């Protein structure tokens, strides 16, 4: 499979200044010679040097485009294979025509992520780095970009290898002990072995804990603003996103559909959904809006439950409270610029969720609300910004599995069971981490990972 030469359009399709057609594999230089003629100088292409010239049609009669090409000889390339990047004019037609010609010369269209897969298979990067590539491309905020770049530079790989080395050392000790067991030589005490296993467990668990923040920085959270009509939900949405996205009127029932916007809350992507107010209605359009509101409640990670403090607390409010009972929420008491009718104290006594008082109209309390949202999801983790975070569920599962095996290791040592068992569990922990970095990963898992990539990456 690695013997063929692959090609793909690496830039997004559409009108742009430049489009890049990229090739990787054994036959790159041969194909370059067939299709490219430099405008000046020797026809011989030197590695890692840009050349200006023409791409010719296969019959050599037509000039397809004027291009810059960069030939890069293996192994100092992205895939560790020969690579050719052809910078063509960024229109759909020139990019496609050049791709066609390369295909006619014997290259094969690359699968999604196949360049990165080759980089992995040829040992240039480990699997965590390969997976970070797509995270870099899809980063929603600067914070998620930083996390992905740290992983791409091998930060996570380094951490995992450190832990793996500790396990290997312990494994060697246990094996040695097993060899000598018949002679009843105690090279290492049980306490010593248990202590080492415990320190490994602590490291694994520390890494596991970063998944909470890591996932939030990468994927963000979904926040739904819920409340009766006219309490100020759309006004809050507009305030949070900093523009007048939703229509605000004094008439109840103005927002009939759900409106979604994404904001960046200090690196945390927040998808905010403004909903139609929850109330009984006979209007068909409003009924459909209500259905969507219910769906928004179910899919949200956090509910901003809005109550109008200038109005009395009524049955409708109570109904909404019971509809959102099962969800994580913040009570948002709005319109505090008006004379109060509502006894906020009573609400505070009744529930465990935080209460924030705001005026969406006068822009009071918005920062407090943002701070509270952050706190609820990232708790004390903000200081761990410089640490390596895990963001990928596959990594989380692998580390968790390794941690469980180490727990068993501790168990067998403490119970003074045969070290045969200890050895098996240590081996399992090593295998889990091996799968994570891609040393012992199956073809199926690889295909699953790279199927999510863009073509040409």
Count of CB atoms within 10 A of residue 262's CB?
A: 13
- Kindly state the smallest distance separating residue 308's Cβ from ligand GDP, in Å: 8
Binding mask 254-283 for ligand GDP (x = CB under 6 A): xx---------------------x------
CB 294 → ligand GDP: shortest distance, Å?
16
Report if residue 128 touches Mg ion, rule: CB under 5 A. Answer: no
Interaction of residue 234 with Mg ion, rule CB under 5 A: yes
| Minimum CB–partner distance for residue 16 and Mg ion (Å) | 39
For the segment 161-220, give every residue that binds ligand GDP (CB under 6 A): none
199 binds, among ligand GDP, Mg ion, none (CB under 5 to 8 A by kind): none
Interacting positions 302-341 with ligand GDP (CB under 6 A): 334-335, 337-338
Minimal distance, residue 237 CB to ligand GDP, in Å: 8
Query: For ligand GDP, which residue has the nearest CB?
Result: 232
CB of 352 to ligand GDP, least distance (A): 25
Q: Which position among 3, 42, 61, 250 is part of the footprint of ligand GDP (CB under 6 A)? A: 250
- Residue 245 or 370: which CB sits closer to Mg ion? 245
233 touches ligand GDP (CB under 6 A): yes
Q: Which is nearer to Mg ion, 231 or 419 (CB)?
A: 231
Residue 429 sits in the site that holds ligand GDP (CB under 6 A): no
Q: Nearer to ligand GDP by C-beta: 69 or 332?
A: 332
CB of 233 to Mg ion, least distance (A): 5
Rounded to the nearest whole angstrom, what is the least distance from the CB of residue 296 to Mg ion in the complex? 13
Nearest distance in Å: CB 260, Mg ion? 13
Residue 293 is a binding residue for ligand GDP (CB under 6 A)? no
Q: Which is nearer to ligand GDP, 21 or 360 (CB)?
A: 360
- Is 49 in a helix, a strand, or coil? strand
- State the binding string over 351-390 for ligand GDP (x if CB under 6 A, else -): --------xxx-----------------------------
Residues 6+ apart with CB under 8 A from 350: none
Q: Rule CB under 5 A: is residue 334 a binding residue for Mg ion?
A: no
360's contact among ligand GDP, Mg ion, none, with CB below 5 to 8 A by partner kind, is: ligand GDP
Chain residues that interact with ligand GDP, rule: CB under 6 A: 227, 229-235, 248-250, 254-255, 277, 334-335, 337-338, 359-361
């Amino acid at each position: 499979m690695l013997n063929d030469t692959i090609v793909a359009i690496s830039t997004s399709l559409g009108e742009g200044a430049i489009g890049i057609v990229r090739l990787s594999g054994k036959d790159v230089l041969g194909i370059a010679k067939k299709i490219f003629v430099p405008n000046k100088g020797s026809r011989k292409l030197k590695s890692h040097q840009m050349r200006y010239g023409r791409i010719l049609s296969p019959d050599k009669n037509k000039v397809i485009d004027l291009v810059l090409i960069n030939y890069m000889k293996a192994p100092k390339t992205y895939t560790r294979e020969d690579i050719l990047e052809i910078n063509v004019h960024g229109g759909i037609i020139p990019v496609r025509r050049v791709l066609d010609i390369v295909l006619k010369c014997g290259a094969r269209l690359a699968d999604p992520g196949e360049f990165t897969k080759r980089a992995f298979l040829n040992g240039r990067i480990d699997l965590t780095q390969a997976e970070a590539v797509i995270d870099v491309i899809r980063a929603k905020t600067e914070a998620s970009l930083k996390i992905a770049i740290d992983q791409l530079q091998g930060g996570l790989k380094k951490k995992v290898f450190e832990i793996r080395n500790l396990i290997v050392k312990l494994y060697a000790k246990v094996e040695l002990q097993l060899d000598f067991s018949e002679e009843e030589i105690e090279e290492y005490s049980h306490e010593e072995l248990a202590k080492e296993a415990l320190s490994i467990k602590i490291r694994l668990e520390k890494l596991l804990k970063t998944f909470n923040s890591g996932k939030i920085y990468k994927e963000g959270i979904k926040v739904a603003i819920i409340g009766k009509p006219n309490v100020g939900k759309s006004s809050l949405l507009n305030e949070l996103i900093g523009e007048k996205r939703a229509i605000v009127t004094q008439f109840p029932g103005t927002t009939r559909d759900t409106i979604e916007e994404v904001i960046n809350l200090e690196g945390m992507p927040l998808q905010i959904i403004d909903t139609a107010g929850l109330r009984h209605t006979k209007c068909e359009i409003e009924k459909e809006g209500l259905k969507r509101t219910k769906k928004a409640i179910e899919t949200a990670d956090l509910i901003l439950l809005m109550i109008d403090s200038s109005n009395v607390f009524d049955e409708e409010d109570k109904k909404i409270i019971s509809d959102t009972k099962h969800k994580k929420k913040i009570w948002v008491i709005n319109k505090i610029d008006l004379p109060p009718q509502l006894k906020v104290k009573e609400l505070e006594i009744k529930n465990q969720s935080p209460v924030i008082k705001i005026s969406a109209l006068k822009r009071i309390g918005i920062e407090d609300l943002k701070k509270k949202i952050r706190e609820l999801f990232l708790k004390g983790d903000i200081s761990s910004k410089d640490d390596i975070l895990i963001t990928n569920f596959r990594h989380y599962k692998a580390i968790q599995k390794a941690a469980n095996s180490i727990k068993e290791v501790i168990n067998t040592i403490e119970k003074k069971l045969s070290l045969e068992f200890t050895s098996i569990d240590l081996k399992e922990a090593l295998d889990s981490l091996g799968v994570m970095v891609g040393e012992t990963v199956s073809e199926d898992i690889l295909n699953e990972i790279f199927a999510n990539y863009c073509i040409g990456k």
